[in-house]
């Protein structure tokens, strides 16, 4: 059956009030929006398509970082990148933004892959945080989170209370929210931030993978979101260790419902190369099909 | 909207019964089902939906980036990504709900023969009408290279005319010297209607990399930025088309009921909405309501009374 036909009425349009809008170093902002319909249905990997300002009527896709289905809000993290996001940053508490969501095919967890490795880079961190929030609610999983950033992290890091095998000496910085969830995390940067691993997310992932016993390593599945070169490196790492790997991609979007084919990425399929729409065929793809 | 209001919007286009004068434009709404993902959206809010440009064989389309926002508009160079006409007729059309609206195929090709083959395939299908896209700026062959040459435009129209009795709508390019002359030739060649205008060719440059942002280097400009150009072209084509009773789907930057009414006044019988759907997926219901309010305010009984009601200023120049 036509994929779209089975998905009638799955994307909601909400006039969402801004509940919080906080600036962080490096032109990063966290945004909390009242959008109960979207909050009730979003999954890790889902994004919203939002109107930033009447002067720039084209919407911007932004991944969802967290939802509270009870209170009906969604949290987003974005970085000012161009005129659209600069205008978005000017909105204040009490203003409303028009949101479409939740959109996209989410990450899929597999019960036999008990050790999800979540790797997020820059504004690719949010979907990893959403993954961690969902995984913490299922005792089957023992996730480990690695976050990398070349601008200051949009949160105050803290020394981790968890021992993580394979971590080089001094690599102790963690994200407080994820610590609260009893999930170990570590941070990386080449900017020399204290407690962070000096290098790339994939270097730290390698340390961790090497420290695992073979049976443990067979239980790892990698989930990742971040800049394209980082995802390429993550995909290479997955191949090297022969691990399954799902990546969430970004592309400019117009409709975000599958109607314009403006957001495609080339993937390998059994029938040969194909152009898949990041908005509705993704944003989550099998890394082996993309890279 | 109540029954009487719905009746006001009912519009005849090339013998087709459009429940409203709005038409969703090719390339913006996939193959007719995509926008139904959105709660509150309905294909019943429009008179017709134009499907994505379809070629004989499947096409992968252009490399990314394919779209980019520009001031009050956007560039696109999709490159006619589509699964091929056979696939559209065999697997997509059977899943469309023809009770909801009229569906129009968008015929595209690189050669005259390809247009004809695609027209033949759609002729033997439940599709309501066909739009001949001789104005796509984003492919190397065919498309706008045919549309900018009146002789070639007429040949494509005549060749498609020979293989189908379904309504044929010719989609004209704004990227040509004399759109009215082209329209005249297409009428002689047997077109039943026009779509005016397709996108204008444009470019955007990334000043850091010094490369065009669009993978295909150039793209088609759409959205509110092109509306004044589109309005004048509709007016010019209407001068030629009205004496033959050939209706026009006016399009290019429609983003409100007021925009739609401007196009009707300039000579359109129906009005296309493309880029504005990206801004607001629920816009069609709002445009319908705005047109009804206008009609009530002016005591109008049907949309056709607005079509071509433009009153030119006596002191002004001619618009051709
Ligand atoms: C993303 C995109 C894809 C398009 N693809 C097609 C196409 O396949 N065939 C066609 O005839 N026109 C195509 N068009 C042109 C539109 O149908 C329409 O004529 C044009 O965008 C002007 O209307 P608008 O300003 O309301 O979008 C496309 C436009 C956009 C924005
Ligand atoms: S943005 Fe239109 S198909 Fe993805």
Confirm whether residue B227 is marked as ligand binding.
no
B50 labelled catalytic: no
Cα B3 to Cα A20, A65, B11, B69, B292, distances in angstroms: 44, 45, 15, 39, 12
By C-alpha distance, the chain A residue nearest B88 is A2
Whether the CB of A39 is below 8 Å from some CB of chain B: the reply is no
Is the pLDDT score of A213 beyond 80? yes
- The alpha carbon of residue A4 is apart from the nearest alpha carbon of chain B, in Å, by 5
- The alpha carbon of residue B78 is apart from the nearest alpha carbon of chain A, in Å, by 6
| A-chain residues near B214 (CB < 8 A) | none
ipTM of model: 0.94
B301 located within any domain: yes
- Tens of pLDDT, residues B300-309: 999 999 999 9
Of the pLDDT bands very low, low, confident and very high (cuts 50, 70, 90), residue B320 is low
Sequence-separated (6 or more) residues with CB below 8 Å from residue B38 = A9, A11, A12, A13, A100, A257, B281, B282
**Residue A222 near residue A242 (C-beta atoms within 8 A):** no
Rounded-to-integer distance, Cα A54 and Cα B279, Å: 9
Q: Which of B30, B64, B280 sits opposite A259 (nearest CB)?
A: B30
Could you list the residues of A known to form a binding site for [2Fe-2S] cluster, using ranges.
Answer: 255, 260, 263, 279
By C-alpha distance, the chain A residue nearest B206 is A82
Query: Tokens 């759609």 label which residue?
Result: B122
Nearest CA to ligand 1 atom 1: A260
| Best residue among B22, B23, B26 to mutate for probing ligand 1, ranked by most atoms within 8 Å of CB | B26
- The alpha carbon of residue B64 is apart from the nearest alpha carbon of chain A, in Å, by 7
Across chain B, what does the average pLDDT equal? Answer: 95
**Residue B170 near residue B198 (C-beta atoms within 8 A):** no
DSSP letter string, A210-228: HHS-HHHHTTEEEEEES-H
B162 located within any domain: yes
Q: Which of A8, A258, A262 sits opposite B76 (nearest CB)?
A: A262
- Tens of pLDDT, residues A64-98: 999 999 999 999 999 998 888 999 999 999 999 99
Rounded-to-integer distance, Cα A37 and Cα A288, Å: 34
Rounded-to-integer distance, Cα B195 and Cα B272, Å: 8
- Tens of pLDDT, residues B144-193: 778 889 999 999 999 999 999 999 999 999 988 899 999 999 999 999 99
Sequence-separated (6 or more) residues with CB below 8 Å from residue B5 = B292
Our count of domains for chain B comes to 1
Burial of A70 (0-12, 13-18, 19+ CB in 10 A): exposed
B49 located within any domain: yes
- Tens of pLDDT, residues A46-60: 999 999 987 889 999
Rounded-to-integer distance, Cα B20 and Cα B285, Å: 10
Which ligand sits closest to the CA of B199? 1
pTM score of the predicted model: 0.95
Q: Is the dihedral of CA A39, A42, A45, A47 positive or negative?
A: negative
Report chain A's C-alpha Rg in angstroms.
18
- Tens of pLDDT, residues B206-229: 999 999 999 999 999 999 999 999
Residue A285, pLDDT score: 98
CATH of the domain at B165: 3.20.20.70
Rounded-to-integer distance, Cα B313 and Cα B320, Å: 14
Cα B197 to Cα B131, B175, B263, distances in angstroms: 12, 9, 11
Residue A1, pLDDT score: 44
Percent of chain A with pLDDT over 70: 98
- Is A262 close to B34, i.e. CB distance below 8 A? no
| B-chain residues near A40 (CB < 8 A) | none
Strands B48-54 and B67-70: unpaired
Residue B142, pLDDT score: 66
B166 located within any domain: yes
Domain residues for B29? 3-305
CB atoms within 10 A of CB A277: 25
- Tens of pLDDT, residues B121-131: 999 999 999 99
- Tens of pLDDT, residues B25-44: 999 999 999 999 999 999 99
Mean pLDDT of B237-249: 98
B316 located within any domain: no
Give chain B's length. 320
DSSP one-letter code for A112:
T
Across chain A, what does the average pLDDT equal? Answer: 95
| B-chain residues near A6 (CB < 8 A) | none
Mean pLDDT of A14-19: 97
B75 located within any domain: yes
- H/E run at residue B238: helix B227-241
**Residue B228 near residue B202 (C-beta atoms within 8 A):** no
B319 located within any domain: no
B147 located within any domain: yes
Instruction: Give the residues surrounding ligand 1 with Cβ less than 6 Å away.
Output: A 254, 260, 262; B 25-28, 52-53, 76, 78, 80, 106, 133, 136, 171, 198-199, 222-223, 226, 251-254, 272-276
Q: Show the domains of chain A with their CATH numbers.
A: 3-103 (2.40.30.10), 115-248 (3.40.50.80)
Rounded-to-integer distance, Cα B47 and Cα A123, Å: 42
Helix-strand-coil split of chain A, %, nearest 5: 25, 35, 40
Cα B279 to Cα A13, B31, B176, distances in angstroms: 12, 19, 29
Give chain A's length. 291
Look at A6 and B48; give whichever has higher pLDDT.
B48
DSSP one-letter code for B38:
B
Of the pLDDT bands very low, low, confident and very high (cuts 50, 70, 90), residue B135 is confident
Whether the CB of A40 is below 8 Å from some CB of chain B: the reply is no
Contact A277 CB / ligand 2 (< 6 Å): yes
Percent of chain A with pLDDT over 90: 94
Rounded-to-integer distance, Cα A77 and Cα A70, Å: 20
Cα A47 to Cα A51, A134, A214, A264, distances in angstroms: 13, 16, 35, 16
Rounded-to-integer distance, Cα B183 and Cα B238, Å: 9
Residue B314, pLDDT score: 86
CB atoms within 10 A of CB A156: 9
| A-chain residues near B108 (CB < 8 A) | none
Is the pLDDT score of B46 beyond 50? yes
- Tens of pLDDT, residues A217-256: 999 999 999 999 999 999 999 999 999 999 999 999 999 9
């Amino acid at each position: 059956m036509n994929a779209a036909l089975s998905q009638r009425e799955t994307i909601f349009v909400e006039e969402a009030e801004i509940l919080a809008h906080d600036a962080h170093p490096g032109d990063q902002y966290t945004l909390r929006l009242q959008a109960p319909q979207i909050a009730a249905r979003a999954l890790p990997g889902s994004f919203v398509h939002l109107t930033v300002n009447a002067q720039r009527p084209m919407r911007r896709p932004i991944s969802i970082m967290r939802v509270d289905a009870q209170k009906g809000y969604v949290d987003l993290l974005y970085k000012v990148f161009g005129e659209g996001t600069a205008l978005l940053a000017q909105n204040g508490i009490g203003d409303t933004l028009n949101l479409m969501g939740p959109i996209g095919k989410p990450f899929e967890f597999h019960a036999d892959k008990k050790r999800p490795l979540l790797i997020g880079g820059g504004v690719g961190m949010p979907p990893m945080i959403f993954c961690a929030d969902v995984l913490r609610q299922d005792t089957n999983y023992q996730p480990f989170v690695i976050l990398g950033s070349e601008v200051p992290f949009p949160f105050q890091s803290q020394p981790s209370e968890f021992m993580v095998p394979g971590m080089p000496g001094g690599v102790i910085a963690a994200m407080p929210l994820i610590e609260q969830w009893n999930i170990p995390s570590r941070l990386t940067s080449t900017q020399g931030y204290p407690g962070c691993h000096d290098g790339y997310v994939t270097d730290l992932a390698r340390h961790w993978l090497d420290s695992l016993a073979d049976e443990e390593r067979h239980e790892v599945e990698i989930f990742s979101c971040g800049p394209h070169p980082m995802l390429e490196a993550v995909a290479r790492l997955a191949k090297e260790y022969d691990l399954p790997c799902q990546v969430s991609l970004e592309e400019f979007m117009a409709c975000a419902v599958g109607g314009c084919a403006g957001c495609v990425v080339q993937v390998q399929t059994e029938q040969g190369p194909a152009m898949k729409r990041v908005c509705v065929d993704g944003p989550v793809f099998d890394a082996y099909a993309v890279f | 909207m109540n029954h009487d209001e719905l009746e006001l919007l009912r519009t005849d286009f090339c013998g087709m019964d459009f429940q409203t004068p709005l038409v969703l434009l090719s390339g913006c709404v996939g193959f007719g089902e995509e926008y139904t993902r959105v709660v509150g959206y309905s294909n019943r809010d429009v008179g017709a939906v134009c499907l994505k440009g379809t070629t004989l064989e499947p096409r992968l389309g252009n490399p990314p980036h394919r779209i980019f926002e520009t001031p009050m508009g956007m560039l696109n160079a999709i490159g006619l990504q589509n699964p091929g006409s056979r696939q559209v007729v065999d697997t997509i059309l059977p899943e469309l709900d023809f009770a909801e609206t009229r569906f129009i195929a968008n015929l595209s090709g690189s050669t005259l023969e390809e247009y004809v083959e695609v027209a033949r395939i759609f002729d033997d299908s439940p599709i309501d009408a066909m739009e001949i896209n001789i104005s796509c700026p984003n492919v190397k062959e065919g498309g706008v290279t045919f549309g900018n040459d009146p002789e070639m435009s007429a040949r494509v129209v005549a060749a498609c005319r020979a293989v189908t009795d379904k309504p044929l709508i010719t989609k004209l390019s704004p990227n040509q010297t004399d759109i009215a002359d082209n329209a005249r030739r297409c009428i002689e060649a047997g077109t039943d209607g026009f779509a005016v205008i397709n996108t204008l060719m444009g470019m955007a440059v990334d000043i850091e990399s010094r490369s065009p942002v669009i993978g295909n280097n150039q793209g088609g400009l759409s959205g509110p930025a092109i509306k004044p150009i589109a309005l004048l072209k509709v007016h010019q084509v209407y001068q030629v088309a009205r004496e033959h009773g050939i209706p026009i789907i006016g399009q290019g930057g429609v983003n409100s009921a007021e925009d739609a009414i401007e196009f009707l006044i300039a000579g359109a019988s129906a009005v296309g909405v493309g880029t504005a759907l990206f801004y607001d997926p629920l816009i069609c219901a709002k445009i319908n309501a705005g047109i009804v309010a206008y009609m009530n305010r002016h005591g109008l009984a049907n949309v056709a009374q607005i079509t071509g009601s433009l009153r030119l200023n006596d002191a002004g120049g001619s618009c051709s």
